[in-house]
Protein backbone atom coordinates (compact mmCIF):
# COMPACT_ATOMS: atom_id res chain seq x y z
CA UNK A 1 0.00 0.00 0.00
CA UNK A 2 2.77 2.48 0.87
CA UNK A 3 4.10 2.30 -2.68
CA UNK A 4 0.76 2.09 -4.46
CA UNK A 5 -0.76 4.82 -6.63
CA UNK A 6 -3.33 6.92 -4.71
CA UNK A 7 -6.55 6.91 -6.70
CA UNK A 8 -9.31 6.79 -4.10
CA UNK A 9 -9.52 9.16 -1.14
CA UNK A 10 -12.16 8.57 1.53
CA UNK A 11 -12.96 11.32 4.02
CA UNK A 12 -14.52 9.99 7.22
CA UNK A 13 -16.72 12.68 8.72
CA UNK A 14 -18.02 16.03 7.56
CA UNK A 15 -18.20 19.21 9.58
CA UNK A 16 -15.82 22.06 8.94
CA UNK A 17 -12.65 19.96 8.74
CA UNK A 18 -14.14 17.30 6.48
CA UNK A 19 -15.59 19.75 4.01
CA UNK A 20 -12.45 21.89 3.99
CA UNK A 21 -10.48 18.82 2.96
CA UNK A 22 -13.12 17.80 0.45
CA UNK A 23 -13.21 21.24 -1.17
CA UNK A 24 -9.44 21.70 -1.39
CA UNK A 25 -8.69 18.21 -2.73
CA UNK A 26 -11.54 18.19 -5.24
CA UNK A 27 -10.58 21.70 -6.40
CA UNK A 28 -6.91 20.83 -6.90
CA UNK A 29 -6.94 17.21 -8.05
CA UNK A 30 -10.30 16.97 -9.83
CA UNK A 31 -9.75 14.26 -12.45
CA UNK A 32 -6.75 12.68 -10.70
CA UNK A 33 -8.64 11.40 -7.66
CA UNK A 34 -11.93 9.75 -6.83
CA UNK A 35 -12.97 11.45 -3.57
CA UNK A 36 -15.77 10.25 -1.30
CA UNK A 37 -16.96 11.82 1.95
CA UNK A 38 -19.10 9.86 4.37
CA UNK A 39 -21.10 11.59 7.08
CA UNK A 40 -24.37 11.19 8.90
CA UNK A 41 -27.18 13.73 9.05
CA UNK A 42 -28.03 12.23 12.44
CA UNK A 43 -24.78 13.64 13.78
CA UNK A 44 -24.95 17.05 12.10
CA UNK A 45 -22.73 20.03 12.84
CA UNK A 46 -22.38 22.22 15.90
CA UNK A 47 -23.54 25.38 14.13
CA UNK A 48 -22.52 28.03 16.68
CA UNK A 49 -20.79 31.23 15.73
CA UNK A 50 -17.25 30.56 14.57
CA UNK A 51 -14.41 33.04 14.80
CA UNK A 52 -11.45 32.96 12.41
CA UNK A 53 -8.08 34.60 11.76
CA UNK A 54 -6.95 36.51 8.63
CA UNK A 55 -5.21 33.63 6.75
CA UNK A 56 -8.68 32.27 5.94
CA UNK A 57 -8.82 34.92 3.20
CA UNK A 58 -5.68 33.51 1.56
CA UNK A 59 -7.17 30.02 1.70
CA UNK A 60 -10.38 31.25 0.09
CA UNK A 61 -8.46 32.95 -2.70
CA UNK A 62 -6.64 29.68 -3.29
CA UNK A 63 -10.02 28.00 -3.75
CA UNK A 64 -11.35 30.90 -5.86
CA UNK A 65 -14.17 31.59 -3.41
CA UNK A 66 -16.01 34.86 -3.95
CA UNK A 67 -16.10 36.80 -0.68
CA UNK A 68 -19.57 38.30 -1.06
CA UNK A 69 -21.14 34.99 -2.08
CA UNK A 70 -19.45 33.28 0.86
CA UNK A 71 -20.53 35.87 3.44
CA UNK A 72 -24.14 35.83 2.24
CA UNK A 73 -24.20 32.04 2.47
CA UNK A 74 -22.81 31.86 6.03
CA UNK A 75 -24.43 34.96 7.60
CA UNK A 76 -20.91 36.27 8.01
CA UNK A 77 -19.60 39.40 9.68
CA UNK A 78 -16.14 40.94 9.77
CA UNK A 79 -13.56 40.61 12.52
CA UNK A 80 -10.73 43.08 13.12
CA UNK A 81 -9.61 41.96 16.56
CA UNK A 82 -10.36 40.14 19.80
CA UNK A 83 -11.53 42.06 22.85
CA UNK A 84 -10.06 40.51 26.00
CA UNK A 85 -12.11 41.50 29.02
CA UNK A 86 -11.28 40.75 32.68
CA UNK A 87 -8.19 38.70 31.81
CA UNK A 88 -5.52 40.59 33.70
CA UNK A 89 -8.00 41.43 36.45
CA UNK A 90 -11.77 42.08 36.57
CA UNK A 91 -12.82 45.35 34.99
CA UNK A 92 -9.86 45.67 32.60
CA UNK A 93 -9.92 45.31 28.83
CA UNK A 94 -7.42 45.22 26.01
CA UNK A 95 -7.67 44.53 22.28
CA UNK A 96 -5.57 42.09 20.29
CA UNK A 97 -5.77 43.56 16.76
CA UNK A 98 -4.98 41.84 13.47
CA UNK A 99 -3.20 44.77 11.89
CA UNK A 100 0.27 46.28 11.91
CA UNK A 101 1.02 48.64 14.76
CA UNK A 102 2.99 51.78 14.04
CA UNK A 103 6.07 51.83 11.83
CA UNK A 104 9.07 49.63 12.59
CA UNK A 105 12.64 49.74 11.38
CA UNK A 106 14.70 46.68 10.52
CA UNK A 107 16.64 47.16 13.73
CA UNK A 108 13.89 48.18 16.08
CA UNK A 109 10.18 47.41 16.30
CA UNK A 110 7.68 50.24 16.79
CA UNK A 111 6.77 49.09 20.27
CA UNK A 112 10.26 50.08 21.44
CA UNK A 113 9.63 53.67 20.33
CA UNK A 114 6.24 53.61 22.00
CA UNK A 115 7.72 52.28 25.25
CA UNK A 116 10.29 55.04 25.19
CA UNK A 117 7.60 57.66 24.60
CA UNK A 118 5.74 56.37 27.68
CA UNK A 119 8.98 56.58 29.65
CA UNK A 120 9.21 60.21 28.67
CA UNK A 121 5.68 60.89 29.90
CA UNK A 122 3.88 60.95 26.55
CA UNK A 123 0.63 59.24 27.52
CA UNK A 124 -0.94 56.86 24.98
CA UNK A 125 -1.87 53.23 24.44
CA UNK A 126 -0.13 50.95 21.96
CA UNK A 127 -3.48 50.36 20.26
CA UNK A 128 -3.73 54.06 19.43
CA UNK A 129 -1.28 53.35 16.60
CA UNK A 130 -3.14 50.41 15.03
CA UNK A 131 -5.94 51.00 12.52
CA UNK A 132 -7.76 47.80 13.45
CA UNK A 133 -7.85 48.74 17.14
CA UNK A 134 -9.16 52.22 16.39
CA UNK A 135 -11.88 50.84 14.09
CA UNK A 136 -12.81 48.17 16.66
CA UNK A 137 -13.33 50.83 19.32
CA UNK A 138 -15.80 52.60 17.03
CA UNK A 139 -17.51 49.44 15.66
CA UNK A 140 -16.60 50.51 12.13
CA UNK A 141 -15.51 48.58 9.07
CA UNK A 142 -14.76 49.08 5.38
CA UNK A 143 -12.71 47.50 2.62
CA UNK A 144 -11.74 50.80 1.03
CA UNK A 145 -9.73 52.52 3.76
CA UNK A 146 -6.16 53.67 3.23
CA UNK A 147 -4.30 51.93 4.70
CA UNK A 148 -6.48 48.83 4.27
CA UNK A 149 -7.59 46.87 7.30
CA UNK A 150 -6.49 43.30 7.97
CA UNK A 151 -9.50 41.22 8.89
CA UNK A 152 -11.06 37.80 9.33
CA UNK A 153 -14.65 36.60 9.65
CA UNK A 154 -17.35 35.45 12.03
CA UNK A 155 -19.81 32.92 10.60
CA UNK A 156 -22.02 29.96 11.39
CA UNK A 157 -20.13 26.65 11.24
CA UNK A 158 -23.10 24.67 9.96
CA UNK A 159 -23.73 27.14 7.14
CA UNK A 160 -20.03 27.11 6.27
CA UNK A 161 -19.94 23.32 5.98
CA UNK A 162 -23.00 23.46 3.73
CA UNK A 163 -21.40 26.15 1.57
CA UNK A 164 -18.21 24.12 1.15
CA UNK A 165 -20.21 20.99 0.35
CA UNK A 166 -21.83 22.74 -2.60
CA UNK A 167 -18.42 23.69 -3.98
CA UNK A 168 -16.90 20.23 -3.49
CA UNK A 169 -19.83 18.41 -5.06
CA UNK A 170 -19.58 20.80 -8.00
CA UNK A 171 -16.06 19.45 -8.58
CA UNK A 172 -17.29 15.86 -8.57
CA UNK A 173 -16.93 14.80 -4.95
CA UNK A 174 -19.31 12.03 -3.91
CA UNK A 175 -21.06 12.30 -0.55
CA UNK A 176 -22.36 9.16 1.15
CA UNK A 177 -24.89 9.30 3.97
CA UNK A 178 -24.26 6.82 6.77
CA UNK A 179 -22.51 5.85 9.98
CA UNK A 180 -19.28 3.86 10.01
CA UNK A 181 -19.67 0.42 11.59
CA UNK A 182 -16.24 -1.08 10.93
CA UNK A 183 -12.75 -0.12 9.78
CA UNK A 184 -11.02 -2.83 7.74
CA UNK A 185 -7.23 -3.06 7.77
CA UNK A 186 -4.64 -4.91 5.71
CA UNK A 187 -3.56 -7.83 7.91
CA UNK A 188 0.05 -7.45 6.73
CA UNK A 189 0.89 -3.77 7.25
CA UNK A 190 -2.12 -2.42 9.14
CA UNK A 191 -3.01 0.12 6.45
CA UNK A 192 -6.71 0.93 6.30
CA UNK A 193 -8.43 -0.74 3.36
CA UNK A 194 -12.09 0.17 3.69
CA UNK A 195 -14.87 1.62 5.82
CA UNK A 196 -17.96 -0.52 6.32
CA UNK A 197 -21.17 1.43 6.98
CA UNK A 198 -24.12 0.37 9.10
CA UNK A 199 -26.17 -0.36 5.98
CA UNK A 200 -23.46 -2.68 4.64
CA UNK A 201 -21.87 -0.34 2.10
CA UNK A 202 -18.12 -0.80 1.75
CA UNK A 203 -16.05 2.28 0.90
CA UNK A 204 -12.61 1.22 -0.28
CA UNK A 205 -9.78 3.72 -0.46
CA UNK A 206 -6.06 4.24 -0.84
CA UNK A 207 -5.82 7.29 1.45
CA UNK A 208 -8.20 8.02 4.32
CA UNK A 209 -8.76 11.37 6.01
CA UNK A 210 -10.05 11.14 9.56
CA UNK A 211 -12.44 13.96 10.40
CA UNK A 212 -14.41 12.04 13.02
CA UNK A 213 -13.83 14.56 15.78
CA UNK A 214 -12.41 13.91 19.21
CA UNK A 215 -12.96 10.15 19.01
CA UNK A 216 -10.48 9.80 16.12
CA UNK A 217 -12.11 6.65 14.77
CA UNK A 218 -9.33 5.86 12.30
CA UNK A 219 -6.26 7.65 13.64
CA UNK A 220 -6.70 6.60 17.27
CA UNK A 221 -9.29 3.89 17.75
CA UNK A 222 -7.93 1.93 14.80
CA UNK A 223 -4.24 2.92 14.50
CA UNK A 224 -3.62 3.97 18.13
CA UNK A 225 -1.43 6.92 17.16
CA UNK A 226 -1.24 8.38 20.67
CA UNK A 227 -2.16 11.73 22.16
CA UNK A 228 -0.11 14.34 24.01
CA UNK A 229 -2.27 16.00 26.67
CA UNK A 230 -1.65 19.70 27.45
CA UNK A 231 -4.02 19.93 30.40
CA UNK A 232 -1.19 20.92 32.75
CA UNK A 233 -0.95 24.24 30.88
CA UNK A 234 -4.48 24.72 29.55
CA UNK A 235 -6.89 24.01 32.40
CA UNK A 236 -10.21 24.46 30.57
CA UNK A 237 -11.70 21.13 29.50
CA UNK A 238 -15.39 21.88 28.98
CA UNK A 239 -17.54 24.27 27.00
CA UNK A 240 -21.26 25.00 27.00
CA UNK A 241 -22.49 26.54 23.76
CA UNK A 242 -25.71 28.29 22.87
CA UNK A 243 -27.06 30.44 20.06
CA UNK A 244 -29.17 33.50 20.80
CA UNK A 245 -31.12 36.21 19.08
CA UNK A 246 -29.30 39.41 18.19
CA UNK A 247 -30.13 42.41 20.35
CA UNK A 248 -27.89 44.93 18.59
CA UNK A 249 -25.67 45.47 15.57
CA UNK A 250 -22.70 43.09 15.22
CA UNK A 251 -19.37 44.38 16.50
CA UNK A 252 -16.21 43.79 14.40
CA UNK A 253 -14.43 41.75 17.04
CA UNK A 254 -14.77 38.59 19.07
CA UNK A 255 -15.39 39.12 22.79
CA UNK A 256 -13.41 36.83 25.11
CA UNK A 257 -14.55 37.54 28.66
CA UNK A 258 -12.71 35.89 31.56
CA UNK A 259 -14.65 34.55 34.55
CA UNK A 260 -13.70 32.78 37.77
CA UNK A 261 -13.04 29.39 36.17
CA UNK A 262 -12.27 30.16 32.52
CA UNK A 263 -13.81 32.51 29.97
CA UNK A 264 -16.78 32.96 27.66
CA UNK A 265 -17.06 33.90 24.00
CA UNK A 266 -19.52 36.21 22.27
CA UNK A 267 -19.51 36.11 18.45
CA UNK A 268 -21.99 38.31 16.59
CA UNK A 269 -23.29 37.05 13.24
CA UNK A 270 -25.72 38.92 11.02
CA UNK A 271 -28.91 37.77 12.72
CA UNK A 272 -27.72 35.62 15.60
CA UNK A 273 -25.03 35.47 18.24
CA UNK A 274 -22.88 32.46 19.08
CA UNK A 275 -22.08 32.27 22.79
CA UNK A 276 -20.13 29.82 24.88
CA UNK A 277 -18.81 29.27 28.39
CA UNK A 278 -15.35 27.66 28.53
CA UNK A 279 -14.33 26.35 31.95
CA UNK A 280 -12.29 23.98 34.05
CA UNK A 281 -14.40 21.11 35.37
CA UNK A 282 -12.17 21.02 38.46
CA UNK A 283 -13.31 24.52 39.36
CA UNK A 284 -16.92 24.68 38.13
CA UNK A 285 -19.71 22.16 37.65
CA UNK A 286 -21.51 21.60 34.36
CA UNK A 287 -24.83 22.81 35.76
CA UNK A 288 -23.28 25.97 37.21
CA UNK A 289 -21.53 26.73 33.92
CA UNK A 290 -24.76 26.29 31.95
CA UNK A 291 -26.71 28.57 34.25
CA UNK A 292 -24.00 31.22 34.28
CA UNK A 293 -23.91 31.20 30.48
CA UNK A 294 -27.67 31.66 30.22
CA UNK A 295 -27.53 34.46 32.77
CA UNK A 296 -24.72 36.21 30.87
CA UNK A 297 -25.89 36.09 27.24
CA UNK A 298 -28.50 38.82 27.64
CA UNK A 299 -30.75 37.53 24.87
CA UNK A 300 -33.28 34.77 24.18
CA UNK A 301 -31.65 31.43 23.29
CA UNK A 302 -32.66 30.03 19.91
CA UNK A 303 -31.56 26.49 20.78
CA UNK A 304 -31.02 24.53 23.95
CA UNK A 305 -27.45 24.82 25.29
CA UNK A 306 -25.17 21.83 24.80
CA UNK A 307 -21.96 20.74 26.45
CA UNK A 308 -18.73 19.86 24.67
CA UNK A 309 -16.02 18.14 26.71
CA UNK A 310 -12.52 18.39 25.24
CA UNK A 311 -8.84 17.76 25.94
CA UNK A 312 -6.33 20.29 24.70
CA UNK A 313 -3.43 18.49 23.09
CA UNK A 314 -2.23 16.96 19.85
CA UNK A 315 -2.12 13.59 18.11
CA UNK A 316 1.43 12.23 18.27
CA UNK A 317 1.11 11.11 14.65
CA UNK A 318 -1.34 13.29 12.76
CA UNK A 319 -0.45 11.21 9.67
CA UNK A 320 -0.06 7.50 10.40
CA UNK A 321 0.20 4.86 7.64
CA UNK A 322 -2.44 5.87 5.08
CA UNK A 323 -4.59 7.89 7.48
CA UNK A 324 -4.32 11.69 7.80
CA UNK A 325 -6.24 13.21 10.69
CA UNK A 326 -7.71 16.70 10.46
CA UNK A 327 -9.61 18.98 12.77
CA UNK A 328 -10.47 17.65 16.21
CA UNK A 329 -9.22 14.19 15.24
CA UNK A 330 -5.68 15.56 14.94
CA UNK A 331 -5.76 17.53 18.18
CA UNK A 332 -7.41 20.52 19.74
CA UNK A 333 -6.27 23.74 21.32
CA UNK A 334 -9.09 25.37 23.20
CA UNK A 335 -11.02 28.03 21.24
CA UNK A 336 -9.27 31.09 22.67
CA UNK A 337 -7.65 33.10 19.82
CA UNK A 338 -9.88 31.39 17.21
CA UNK A 339 -7.30 29.01 15.76
CA UNK A 340 -9.31 25.82 15.22
CA UNK A 341 -10.42 26.46 11.63
CA UNK A 342 -7.02 27.93 10.77
CA UNK A 343 -5.21 24.80 11.94
CA UNK A 344 -7.51 22.67 9.78
CA UNK A 345 -6.87 24.87 6.75
CA UNK A 346 -3.14 24.86 7.36
CA UNK A 347 -3.12 21.07 7.62
CA UNK A 348 -5.17 20.74 4.42
CA UNK A 349 -2.73 22.99 2.56
CA UNK A 350 0.18 20.94 3.90
CA UNK A 351 -1.50 17.78 2.63
CA UNK A 352 -2.05 19.33 -0.80
CA UNK A 353 1.60 20.37 -0.99
CA UNK A 354 2.86 16.94 0.11
CA UNK A 355 0.15 14.86 -1.50
CA UNK A 356 1.45 11.29 -2.09
CA UNK A 357 -0.08 10.66 -5.49
CA UNK A 358 2.44 7.92 -6.40
CA UNK A 359 2.67 6.31 -2.98
CA UNK A 360 3.31 7.26 0.65
CA UNK A 361 7.00 7.93 1.35
CA UNK A 362 7.85 8.12 5.04
CA UNK A 363 9.92 11.23 4.44
CA UNK A 364 6.77 13.19 3.56
CA UNK A 365 4.88 11.71 6.47
CA UNK A 366 7.71 12.83 8.75
CA UNK A 367 7.72 16.36 7.34
CA UNK A 368 3.94 16.63 7.66
CA UNK A 369 3.98 15.53 11.29
CA UNK A 370 6.95 17.65 12.31
CA UNK A 371 5.62 20.86 10.76
CA UNK A 372 2.22 20.24 12.32
CA UNK A 373 3.78 19.64 15.74
CA UNK A 374 5.72 22.91 15.62
CA UNK A 375 2.65 24.82 14.46
CA UNK A 376 0.44 23.51 17.24
CA UNK A 377 3.06 24.12 19.92
CA UNK A 378 3.44 27.73 18.76
CA UNK A 379 -0.32 28.28 19.06
CA UNK A 380 -0.36 26.44 22.39
CA UNK A 381 2.31 28.73 23.84
CA UNK A 382 0.46 31.87 22.77
CA UNK A 383 -2.74 30.71 24.44
CA UNK A 384 -0.95 29.62 27.62
CA UNK A 385 0.35 33.20 27.86
CA UNK A 386 -3.21 34.50 28.36
CA UNK A 387 -3.82 32.15 31.27
CA UNK A 388 -0.43 32.51 32.91
CA UNK A 389 -0.06 36.30 32.93
CA UNK A 390 -2.94 37.30 35.18
CA UNK A 391 -3.54 39.07 38.47
CA UNK A 392 -6.84 37.46 39.37
CA UNK A 393 -7.51 35.97 42.81
CA UNK A 394 -9.57 32.83 42.03
CA UNK A 395 -7.98 29.37 42.57
CA UNK A 396 -7.79 28.42 38.88
CA UNK A 397 -6.10 31.67 37.96
CA UNK A 398 -3.62 31.43 40.82
CA UNK A 399 -2.69 27.94 39.65
CA UNK A 400 -2.12 29.26 36.13
CA UNK A 401 0.04 32.08 37.42
CA UNK A 402 2.20 29.65 39.39
CA UNK A 403 2.51 26.87 36.80
CA UNK A 404 5.79 25.87 35.18
CA UNK A 405 5.75 26.97 31.55
CA UNK A 406 6.95 25.12 28.44
CA UNK A 407 10.59 26.14 27.84
CA UNK A 408 9.67 27.61 24.43
CA UNK A 409 7.26 30.06 26.08
CA UNK A 410 9.56 30.81 29.01
CA UNK A 411 12.29 31.94 26.61
CA UNK A 412 9.88 34.36 24.94
CA UNK A 413 8.71 35.83 28.23
CA UNK A 414 12.24 36.23 29.57
CA UNK A 415 13.35 38.05 26.42
CA UNK A 416 10.33 40.34 26.63
CA UNK A 417 10.69 41.12 30.32
CA UNK A 418 14.40 41.87 30.05
CA UNK A 419 14.56 43.81 26.77
CA UNK A 420 11.07 44.01 25.20
CA UNK A 421 12.25 41.61 22.50
CA UNK A 422 9.57 39.77 20.51
CA UNK A 423 9.92 37.74 17.35
CA UNK A 424 8.09 35.53 14.90
CA UNK A 425 9.24 32.57 12.85
CA UNK A 426 8.65 32.45 9.11
CA UNK A 427 5.75 30.00 9.40
CA UNK A 428 4.30 31.17 12.72
CA UNK A 429 0.71 32.35 12.88
CA UNK A 430 1.11 35.01 15.55
CA UNK A 431 3.20 37.97 14.55
CA UNK A 432 5.32 40.30 16.69
CA UNK A 433 2.35 42.68 16.96
CA UNK A 434 0.20 39.90 18.41
CA UNK A 435 2.77 39.02 21.06
CA UNK A 436 3.35 42.64 22.06
CA UNK A 437 -0.33 43.55 22.38
CA UNK A 438 -1.15 40.48 24.44
CA UNK A 439 1.90 40.67 26.71
CA UNK A 440 1.27 44.34 27.41
CA UNK A 441 -2.46 43.74 27.73
CA UNK A 442 -1.85 40.99 30.27
CA UNK A 443 0.31 43.35 32.27
CA UNK A 444 3.85 42.19 31.42
CA UNK A 445 5.90 45.38 31.24
CA UNK A 446 9.54 45.02 30.14
CA UNK A 447 12.28 46.46 32.32
CA UNK A 448 14.14 47.85 29.29
CA UNK A 449 13.67 48.36 25.57
CA UNK A 450 15.86 48.89 22.53
CA UNK A 451 18.35 51.77 23.05
CA UNK A 452 17.89 53.08 19.50
CA UNK A 453 14.55 54.55 20.52
CA UNK A 454 16.38 57.02 22.75
CA UNK A 455 18.06 58.63 19.74
CA UNK A 456 14.91 60.61 18.86
CA UNK A 457 14.44 63.99 20.46
CA UNK A 458 11.15 64.65 22.21
CA UNK A 459 10.03 66.75 19.27
CA UNK A 460 10.92 64.05 16.74
CA UNK A 461 9.20 61.41 18.87
CA UNK A 462 6.00 63.44 19.03
CA UNK A 463 6.18 64.09 15.31
CA UNK A 464 6.60 60.35 14.63
CA UNK A 465 3.64 59.38 16.81
CA UNK A 466 1.41 62.07 15.31
CA UNK A 467 2.32 61.11 11.73
CA UNK A 468 1.26 57.52 12.41
CA UNK A 469 -1.86 58.20 14.43
CA UNK A 470 -3.49 61.07 12.55
CA UNK A 471 -4.08 59.32 9.18
CA UNK A 472 -5.52 56.31 11.02
CA UNK A 473 -7.96 58.45 12.97
CA UNK A 474 -9.08 60.15 9.79
CA UNK A 475 -9.51 56.81 8.04
CA UNK A 476 -11.68 55.46 10.87
CA UNK A 477 -13.90 58.55 10.87
CA UNK A 478 -14.64 57.94 7.18
CA UNK A 479 -15.62 54.30 7.74
CA UNK A 480 -19.27 53.26 7.96
CA UNK A 481 -20.46 51.18 10.85
CA UNK A 482 -20.00 47.45 10.36
CA UNK A 483 -23.79 47.04 10.17
CA UNK A 484 -24.06 49.61 7.39
CA UNK A 485 -21.22 48.01 5.45
CA UNK A 486 -22.74 44.52 5.75
CA UNK A 487 -26.13 45.82 4.62
CA UNK A 488 -24.58 47.19 1.43
CA UNK A 489 -22.01 44.45 0.75
CA UNK A 490 -23.11 40.98 1.91
CA UNK A 491 -26.48 40.96 3.62
CA UNK A 492 -27.78 37.39 4.03
CA UNK A 493 -31.27 36.18 3.37
CA UNK A 494 -32.65 35.25 6.84
CA UNK A 495 -33.85 31.96 5.33
CA UNK A 496 -30.23 30.66 5.19
CA UNK A 497 -30.79 29.21 8.68
CA UNK A 498 -33.87 27.18 7.75
CA UNK A 499 -32.27 23.89 6.70
CA UNK A 500 -29.58 23.52 9.35
CA UNK A 501 -29.60 20.32 11.41
CA UNK A 502 -30.20 20.99 15.11
CA UNK A 503 -28.17 17.94 16.17
CA UNK A 504 -24.70 18.46 17.63
CA UNK A 505 -21.69 16.16 17.32
CA UNK A 506 -19.71 14.75 20.24
CA UNK A 507 -21.83 16.92 22.52
CA UNK A 508 -24.04 16.40 25.53
CA UNK A 509 -27.33 18.36 25.75
CA UNK A 510 -27.18 20.61 28.79
CA-angle at 393, arms to 290 and 383, nearest 5°: 70
State the Cα–Cα distance between residues 162 and 442, nearest whole angstrom.
38
Q: In whole angstroms, what separates CA 109 from the centre of its chain?
A: 26
Per 3-state DSSP, what percentage of the chain is helix, strand, and coil (rounded to 5)? 40, 20, 40
Do the annotations mark residue 17 as ligand-binding? Answer: yes
Do the annotations mark residue 223 as ligand-binding? Answer: no
Do the annotations mark residue 190 as ligand-binding? Answer: no
Nearest of 168, 163, 151 to residue 74 by alpha carbon:
163
Residue of 79, 292, 317, 321 marked active site: 79
State the Cα–Cα distance between residues 330 and 335, nearest whole angstrom.
15
List Cα–Cα distances, 362 to 6, 296, 369, in angstroms: 15, 50, 10
The crossing angle, in degrees rounded to 10, of helices 362-388 and 340-353 is: 160
79 is catalytic: yes
State the Cα–Cα distance between residues 149 and 468, nearest whole angstrom.
15
Q: What is the dihedral of CA 120, 125, 128, 132, to 10 degrees?
A: 150
**Cβ neighbours of residue 377 closer than 8 Å, sequence gap 6 or more:** 314, 406, 408
Do the annotations mark residue 244 as ligand-binding? Answer: no
Q: What is the dihedral of CA 385, 387, 389, 395, to 10 degrees?
A: -160
Do the annotations mark residue 260 as ligand-binding? Answer: no
Contact 252, 264 (CB under 8 A): no
Q: What are phi and psi of 421, to 5 degrees?
A: -90, 130
Cα torsion 56, 352, 37, 361: sign: negative
Do the annotations mark residue 341 as ligand-binding? Answer: yes
Contact 95, 124 (CB under 8 A): no
- Spatial strand order of the sheet with 253-259 comes to 93-97, 81-85, 253-259, 262-268, 272-279, 238-245, 306-309, 508-509
State the Cα–Cα distance between residues 147 and 154, nearest whole angstrom.
22
State the Cα–Cα distance between residues 60 and 163, nearest whole angstrom.
12
State the Cα–Cα distance between residues 282 and 434, nearest whole angstrom.
30
DSSP, collapsed to helix, strand or coil, labels residue 276 as strand
Do the annotations mark residue 220 as ligand-binding? Answer: no
Contact 6, 358 (CB under 8 A): yes
Do the annotations mark residue 504 as ligand-binding? Answer: no
CA-angle at 326, arms to 325 and 328, nearest 5°: 105
State the Cα–Cα distance between residues 39 and 62, nearest whole angstrom.
25
State the Cα–Cα distance between residues 435 and 83, nearest whole angstrom.
15
Known binding residues: 14-17, 79, 328, 337, 341
Known binding residues for FAD: 14-17, 328, 337, 341
Known binding residues for 7-chloro-L-tryptophan: 79
The catalytic residue positions are 79
Amino acid sequence: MANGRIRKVVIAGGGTAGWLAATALSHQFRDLLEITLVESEQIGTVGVGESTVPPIRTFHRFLQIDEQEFLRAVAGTFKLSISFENWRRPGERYIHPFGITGQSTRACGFHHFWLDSVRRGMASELGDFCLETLASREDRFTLSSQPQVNYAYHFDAGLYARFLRGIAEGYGLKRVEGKIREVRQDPQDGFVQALVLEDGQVLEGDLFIDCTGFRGLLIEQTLQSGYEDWHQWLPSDRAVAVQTESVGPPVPYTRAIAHEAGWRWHIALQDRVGCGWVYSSRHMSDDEATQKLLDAVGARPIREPWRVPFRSGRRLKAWNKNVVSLGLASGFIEPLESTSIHLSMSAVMRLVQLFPLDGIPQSLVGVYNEVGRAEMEHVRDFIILHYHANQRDEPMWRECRDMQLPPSLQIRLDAWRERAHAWQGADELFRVDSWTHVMLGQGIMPSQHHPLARALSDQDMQRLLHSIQQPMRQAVQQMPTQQAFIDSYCRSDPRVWATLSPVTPQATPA
